[in-house]
Structure 1
Amino acid sequence: MISAELVKQLREMTGAGMLECKKALEEAQGDMEKAKEILRIRGLAKAEKKAGRETKEGIIQTYVSEDRKVGVILELNCETDFVAKNENFVELALTLAKHIAHIPENANRSGTFEDISQQTLYSDPSQKVEDMVKASIAKIGENIKLSRWVRFDAEGYVHAYVHGIGRVGVLMEYKTDSLSDDVLRVAQDVVLQIAAMKPEYVSVESIPEEVLEREKRILAEQTRQEGKPENMIERIVEGKLKKFYQEKVLLDQPFIREEKKTVRQYISESGLNFEVVRFVRFEVGSA
């Protein structure tokens, strides 16, 4: 006879349903370890079935090392908004972010689940990342997909921000003389700017030449179609490019807290030696 207490213990250890735990214990004749193995096998089999289901919901998760030298941002997807708020799902996202941050071969890389699936899990060398995710799929009951991740290893420092319930996140690398509350306040203001205003480049100089040339061609053709004289097109295009910079370039954007200033002016007026090196902005479903 399998006691209710034993069933409860197995449920707490595995997260499986009461009936599944009872059946596993009966099959294992009360052997807890064997019952766990039975549940894992069954769970993984269910996970394989769930793996084909579409994942449209999810969260953005970040992790920054204590010394602020390593930062990770990732998008973990699931099937429903309900699971996206689930404590176990959020914890899985954080475990994956920490794993990416702790494995040397992931340094300054970006990728998807396939790039880390066969790595030995940093927090449990007895299993691979793939095993942990499959076990989570079985426990949570939905398909889960790590769609993308980026890791920064900084010469300076990294700063991360996740907005609200995790739909938008930012990871930024910056250089400064030393860390202070004032520096961290500026870093936070800048990542809030990135989250809200969706810039694509740090500075005009960082825009790839082919992107800039394409934009100039488009603006020139638009100007011609407006009937402007050919000798004025170049000057008109230069004016229109300023608007493009204000939309796409972080340092040229109006600062969200004080729109009469640009982000560049805000940083300059802080009096700090603060330089944005690079950033990535993730939004759920926008990859």
Structure 2
Amino acid sequence: MAAITAKMVKELREITAAGMMDCKKALTEKDGDMEAAITLLREKGMAKAAKKADRVAAEGLIFDGVSADHKTAILVEFNSETDFVAKNPEFVSFGKKLVELALANNVATAEELKAVEVDGKTVETLVTELIAKIGENMTLRKVEKITTDAGFVATYSHMGGKLCVVTELAGEANAETVEKARGIAMHVAAMNPGYLKPEDVTADDLKKEMEIARVQLLDEGKPEKIIDNILKGKERKFYEEQCLVKQVYVRAEDKETVEQFAGDNTVLSYTRVKVGEGIEKKEEDFAAEVAAQING
């Protein structure tokens, strides 16, 4: 008798849309034969037509755009089921159109963008039509709108749109300063800082880091009387590694920090969005749910 795993049950459920326990029973009866289990479920009328909208869309791209005055930036996460479809010219063209519509209609959320009308049809309807045409589920999942009165914004797209960053800098937008902002956005994409500046680190976060460092130092056999001095250096190192403005700029030829590179164009904020963030967790939870059902 073949062992029936949670992964097998999950796969059968995705194919047939039948209940988890029905899938487990079918696989057990057919000794793990997937095709035979599918046939059995169909014979019993338990296999349903899988709906495209039920399939997880965790691939896709982040599309970015900036207003002409560099006061507003938009990031739109448009998901697909597979990376293959994310490279489809119609998918890419539609994603770029979503950014244009978001900027033109001053929207700030995915729901607002879905409600925008184009030639008598809502964006949500256009997404549904594209799903039907390409044959794969797609989701307009997220819209990030970043506006500034104190400075200007710029964007950087990494890995063809798998990751996008918006940086907000003080000062006026011109060719030189926008390029500077894009360079810092590229740095954020590469280094993924946890905080903008040391002042943003919470007391609890710092306390936790220092407690971990203290235990490590004790384990290394460092004398208790010198640990506090060592921890001061550890705290400084933590800020240098985790705070954007204190990090060494990735393009710097010397030890110039991001703060020094920015100069008078102080970094005011950054926004970093990666395709599918949070969706993987949902998948893991589902697998755990299946395992719990089987083991139960």
Same fold at TM > 0.5: yes
1:189: which partner in 2? 183
Counterpart-to-counterpart distance in 1, 2:106 and 2:183: 30
Counterpart-to-counterpart distance in 2, 1:206 and 1:125: 46
Which secondary structure does the structure 2 equivalent of 1:265 belong to? helix
Query: How big is the shift at 1:276?
Result: 1.0
Which secondary structure does the structure 1 equivalent of 2:61 belong to? strand
Is the CA contact 2:197–2:243 (under 8 Å) kept in the aligned structure 1? yes
Q: Is structure 2 residue 199 aligned with structure 1 residue 205?
A: yes
What's the TM-score, normalizing by structure 2? 0.69
Q: Is structure 2 residue 152 aligned with structure 1 residue 150?
A: no
Match for 1:88 among 87, 90, 107? 90
List runs of 5+ in structure 1 lacking aligned partners: 1-47
Distance change >3 Å, CA 251–CA 228, structure 1 → 2? same
Match for 2:59 among 57, 61, 65? 57
Query: How big is the shift at 1:134?
Result: 1.1
Which secondary structure does the structure 2 equivalent of 1:66 belong to? coil
Which secondary structure does the structure 1 equivalent of 2:166 belong to? strand
Across the aligned residues of Structure 1 and Structure 2, the Cα RMSD in angstroms comes to: 2.3
Counterpart-to-counterpart distance in 2, 1:171 and 1:145: 22
Counterpart-to-counterpart distance in 2, 1:286 and 1:105: 22
Equivalent residues in 2 for 1:268-287, closer than 5 Å: 268=263, 273-287=264-278
Query: How big is the shift at 1:228?
Result: 2.6
Equivalent residues in 2 for 1:234-245, closer than 5 Å: 234-245=228-239
Which secondary structure does the structure 2 equivalent of 1:165 belong to? helix
2:134: which partner in 1? 140
Matched letter for residue 128 of structure 2? K
Query: How big is the shift at 1:129?
Result: 3.1
Match for 2:224 among 208, 214, 230? 230
1:73: which partner in 2? 75
Matched letter for residue 276 of structure 1? V
Which secondary structure does the structure 2 equivalent of 1:54 belong to? coil
1:162: which partner in 2? 157
Equivalent residues in 2 for 1:168-187, closer than 5 Å: 168-176=163-171, 178-187=172-181
Q: Is structure 2 residue 211 aligned with structure 1 residue 217?
A: yes
Query: How big is the shift at 1:105?
Result: 5.9
Is the CA contact 2:115–2:124 (under 8 Å) kept in the aligned structure 1? no
Is the CA contact 1:116–1:129 (under 8 Å) kept in the aligned structure 2? no
Deviations for 1:22-75, whole angstroms, at most 9, x for unmatched residues?
xxxxxxxxxxxxxxxxxxxxxxxxxx9211112232112111111111111132
Q: Is structure 2 residue 99 aligned with structure 1 residue 116?
A: no
Counterpart-to-counterpart distance in 2, 1:191 and 1:224: 39
Equivalent residues in 2 for 1:3-18, closer than 5 Å: none
Query: How big is the shift at 1:121?
Result: 1.0
Counterpart-to-counterpart distance in 2, 1:105 and 1:73: 11
Matched letter for residue 260 of structure 2? Q
Deviations for 1:196-228, whole angstroms, at most 9, x for unmatched residues?
221222211122333223222322233333333
Counterpart-to-counterpart distance in 1, 2:112 and 2:209: 37
Distance change >3 Å, CA 210–CA 159, structure 1 → 2? same
Counterpart-to-counterpart distance in 2, 1:101 and 1:182: 24
Is the CA contact 2:168–2:181 (under 8 Å) kept in the aligned structure 1? no
Counterpart-to-counterpart distance in 1, 2:54 and 2:235: 45
Query: How big is the shift at 1:125?
Result: 6.6
Q: Is structure 2 residue 93 aligned with structure 1 residue 98?
A: no
Which secondary structure does the structure 1 equivalent of 2:55 belong to? coil
Identical residues among aligned pairs (%):
34
Counterpart-to-counterpart distance in 2, 1:105 and 1:74: 11
Deviations for 1:222-259, whole angstroms, at most 9, x for unmatched residues?
33333333333332222122332232211111111225
Matched letter for residue 155 of structure 2? A
